[in-house]
Amino acid sequence: MRSSTGAAGSTASLSLDRLVAEATRMIAEDGLAALSLRRLAAAVGVTAPALYGHVAGKEELLRRVATAHLDALASRLAAIEEPDPVAGLREMARAYVDHALDQPALFEVMFLFPPAAGLGGPTGHELPAATRLFEAAAAPAVAAAERGLLRDGADAATVATGLWMAAHGAATTMLLGFDVPAAERDRLVDALLDAVVAGFTRR
């Protein structure tokens, strides 16, 4: 049995960063359904009530996990240095799909919380990191619109949202577990994204 001194020491050394890191590890290894506050408390060596000194509950913990990985994806998109906005649209969509395939369980967490510009209107669960990601992904669509590179009737918001829908659908489909060789998977994803970009742009 853990001594009271040991428990106190463990509680004193507990940090929010450690909880988020451990929750991230659990989700990445075992899936979102495997995460519970009781299991998380056991993993870090404290009782479940001790967690409430750091997080209000499971939703707040998931919001913090999602924030970290939404910001990581936003940084990945922001690092794309492509002066041609049409090519930038394509590269960002591909980076989105690749990120999902790299971190399938965390990809699920990232989209528990919508951006402020969500399609269904305000939900009360919007996450600033999701909004930042959407803005980063929309940047080449805005640039393409400013340069007159979009087809008539296609504005930046429509293009950004439509391309996100295509990329998200491609990622989700590939994560369903189809036994598709990597080369064939890449060919299918590339063909889809190329077709969507071509449909929205003048070239």
- Supply the pLDDT for residue 23: 96
- Supply the pLDDT for residue 180: 77
Strands (E), the chain: none
Same topology for domains 4-55 and 64-200, yes or no? no
Residue ranges of domains in the chain: 4-55, 64-200
Query: What integer is the mean pLDDT of 76-97?
Result: 93
CATH number for the segment(s) 4-55: 1.10.10.60
- Supply the pLDDT for residue 181: 84
Q: Is the pLDDT of residue 1 over 50?
A: no
Residues 6+ apart with CB under 8 A from 144: 85, 86, 89, 150, 156, 159, 201
96: helix, strand or coil: helix
Model confidence band, residue 5 (pLDDT cutoffs 50, 70, 90) = very low
Q: At what angle do helices 128-146 and 85-102 cross, to 10 degrees?
A: 150
- Supply the pLDDT for residue 4: 37
- Supply the pLDDT for residue 11: 56
CATH class of residue range 64-200: mainly alpha
